[in-house]
Amino acid sequence: MRKIDFIFGFFCLLIMNTAAVSAQSDAMEAADKAYQEYRFVDVQSIYERLYQKGIKSEKSLLQLANTYFLNGHYDKAQLYYKEWFHWPNRTENKSAILRYYSCLNHPTSLNQAEFDAVQAAYKLLYPNKKNGEPLPYFTVDLSVQSATALNSASSDYAPAYWDDQLVFTSTRDTGLFQSNRHAWNGQGFSNLYQSKQLIANTFEKPKRYNAFKTRFHESSAIITKNGQTTFFTRNSYDQKGKHRNGDGSLFLSIYQSDKLPNGKWGPEKRLPFCSDQFQTANPAISADGCDLYFASDRPGGYGSSDLYRVRIPTDGKWGTPENLGPSINTPSRETFPFITEQSDLIFASDRPGGMGGLDIYIAQPIGRFWQLFKNKEPLNSASDDFGFILHSSKKEGFFCSNRLGGKGDDDIYYFNLQTDWPKPCVFKPQWQIIDEYTKLPITDQVVNYQLLTLAAKGKTRADAKGHMEVESLPCGQKLELTVNRKGYFPYRETIEYDDNDKTYIIALKPEKIPLKLGDNLAQLFDIHDIYFDLDQWDIRPEAATELAQIAEVMRTYPSLTICIESHTDSRQTALYNQTLSEKRAYSTRQWIIDQGIAPARLAAVGMGESQLVNPCADGVPCTEAEHQQNRRSVFVITHL
């Protein structure tokens, strides 16, 4: 009987365990399905419940971390990324490493060993990327305060100037049903709101901007200076739900609407370079109204999302967007562009090296380059900071942040400039190319240069006086110059500018220099005279280096003959010094002969102490270094 009871109990326990395992498996599948459908609130609810029971996997940790990261909760994301990072035999994931690395740049991340380990993994995956290296700070003083009248308990962001109105995006839920809340973060769907700015940080009560009201998201609306065209971001909708997002929504796209003669907005048209296969969002217009900037994760970019620009057509035919390149874009996220009246580009990025989350960066255009700066507090914080705008004529603007002390998730902040907006630091290099021997200009010669700081290349050509027009460059550049010209040795030199007005001389050394009888061969070819130790005539190692160059010159000029004149200092008797100088001359001659130069081309003469190069004659007190200058050999041309 006991045996039967035991068997019955065993099977009951087995069934219960099987049911529990099945329930866990079902929960994991449900969470994964919710993740694929971007229902991040559901993902967090399921995985957190399982995690509390000790049930986790490599996939669940990664997905849970991603949901928190994408909603700006970096501290919680960091906890799950850490467990995923140390999961045994985990699958490599570049985007996860990048996100974890970004989290560890957060000031609350104090584990240096963990930071070093993740940084090493990041550098293995992105060996050629320079993001994370120090950037100069943008020197502008501003005071910041919350735009309390605009903010709600939800997310309020992406402000834009529309005449005397401020239009912004908000997820405040004005609907009556739960369907008006989004499964990504549990907040209401984003819509456009407007409020009249009375003075500084004082506004009328915000009201819904209903011109483009649809079932799903509208955000990031901007308007042209003439008020006739608007661009905005929309997460459109497909009734068939056949596209990737599980809630039936399509990827973010930019829409355009033009004002009709009756003053109302015309039909919204999706811009043709948008797609249901990638995101295109957050438009901005250049200061001259000719270019549209935006963020996109389209294929061919540098990272999670990049900044692009495209010419705004006058005939309605849009061209192909241009990526702003690696001086702006990184493997991280670059988003929310804004262009000032000075054509400076302000954008947000979560690249390593920031203060935490998205930080606001400023890039000033200089020719074809950007001079990039980062910002300190109070503009940036340990949280997400983005959506910067600056008034075209007033010294004020707005930005967005989910920093501590706010009213809701993302809040809009007002700032007032305490100083003028800084102008870019620009310099225009001045170069001249000459013959090193004759000092005459070299004309019609191409000089190639590489900007080591900006990882860019360029070239210029010398005019009739050897001068060159060089493009404008950001200050503080290190350049490598290269010149190749027939009849001259190849030229390569790295220069750093400390004086913007100084003309840099590029002196090319001729392969063959015009020679004259009696010239000092070493001086013509920038070869140092050779020196001897006191009372010695053997060739010192550093002298051998110079003599090797003398031998090479004699191979280049096969008819050249020289006389080696060796000298001593004034110590010892004149007879002794004469003998010592002759030994030095013969020693020098023999060293060159050993390099394959014919003895008939080399004469050797001892000059004793007869030709001192300084006042150190007999009885004159001198240092050892001064005496050393006299113990030398020189090389005089005797036949060409």
- E strands within 452-553? 456-461, 467-469, 473-474, 478-483, 491-496, 503-508, 530-531
Domain final residue, candidates 364, 395, 417: 417
Taking residues 389-394, what's their average pLDDT?
88
Question: Residue 183: pLDDT above 60?
Answer: no
Residue 131 has pLDDT above 90, yes or no: no
Torsions phi, psi for 433 (to 5 deg): -110, 130
pLDDT tier for residue 361 given thresholds of 50, 70 and 90? very high
pLDDT of 195 over the 90 cut: yes
Q: Which helix (H) or strand (E) holds 636?
A: strand 632-639
Is a pLDDT exceeding 60 seen at residue 29?
yes
**Measured over all CA atoms, what is the biggest interatomic distance in the chain, rounded to whole angstroms?**
128
Q: Given a cut of 80, is residue 239 above it in pLDDT?
A: no
Please say if the pLDDT value at position 84 is more than 60.
Answer: yes
Same domain (yes/no): 480, 626:
no
**CATH code at 115?**
1.25.40.10
Kindly state the percentage of the chain with pLDDT values over 90.
44
Question: pLDDT tier at 128 (50, 70, 90 boundaries)?
Answer: low
Instruction: Please state which of the ranges 205-214, 391-400, 541-550 shows the lowest mean pLDDT.
Output: 205-214
Same domain, 444 and 555: no
Tell me, what's the pLDDT at 433?
95
pLDDT tens-digit profile of 259-289? 999 999 999 999 999 998 899 999 999 999 9
Q: How many domains does the chain have?
A: 4
- Domain presence at residue 5: no
| 174 and 259 together in one domain | yes
**Inter-residue contact 411 to 151 (CB < 8 Å):** yes
**Does residue 59 sit in the same domain as residue 200?**
no
Q: Are residues 499 and 392 in the same domain?
A: no
> Residue 9: its pLDDT value, please?
52
CA distance 398 to 200: 11
What is the overall mean pLDDT for the chain? 84
- pLDDT given for residue 235 in this prediction: 82
Average pLDDT over residues 25-31: 81
Tell me, what's the pLDDT at 595? 95
Contact 415, 398 (CB under 8 A): yes
Q: Is residue 622 part of a domain?
A: yes
Q: What is the pLDDT of residues 134-177, one digit of tens each?
A: 577 776 777 889 989 999 998 899 999 988 899 999 988 654 33
Report the range of poorest mean pLDDT among 37-46, 483-492, 527-536.
Answer: 37-46
pLDDT of res. 164: 82
- Over residues 419-438, the pLDDT tens digits come to 888 888 888 888 999 998 88
195 and 291 share a domain? yes
Q: With 70 as the cut, is the pLDDT of residue 133 above it? A: no
pLDDT of residue 356: 79
Q: In this predicted structure, which of 175-189, 295-309, 545-559, 588-602 has the lowest mean pLDDT? A: 175-189
Where does a domain end: 417, 434, 453? 417
Residue 543 lies in a domain: yes
| Residue 44 phi, psi (nearest 5) | -65, -40
Per-residue pLDDT at 553 exceeds 70: yes
Please indicate, yes or no, if residue 10 is contained in any of the structural domains: no
The CATH code of the domain that includes 581 is 3.30.1330.60
Q: What is the pLDDT of residue 214?
A: 66
Banded model confidence at residue 237, pLDDT cuts 50, 70, 90: low
User: For residue 454, what are the domain limits?
Assistant: 426-508
Identify the domain boundary among 417, 445, 478: 417
pLDDT of the residue at 17? 52
220 and 357 in a single domain? The answer is: yes
Residue 134 in contact with residue 353, Cβ under 8 Å? Answer: yes
pLDDT tens digit sequence for 47-61 = 888 888 888 888 888
Output the pLDDT for position 321. 97
Residues 6+ apart with CB under 8 A from 504: 429, 430, 431, 432, 495
**378 plus 459 within the same structural domain:** no
pLDDT at 181: 43
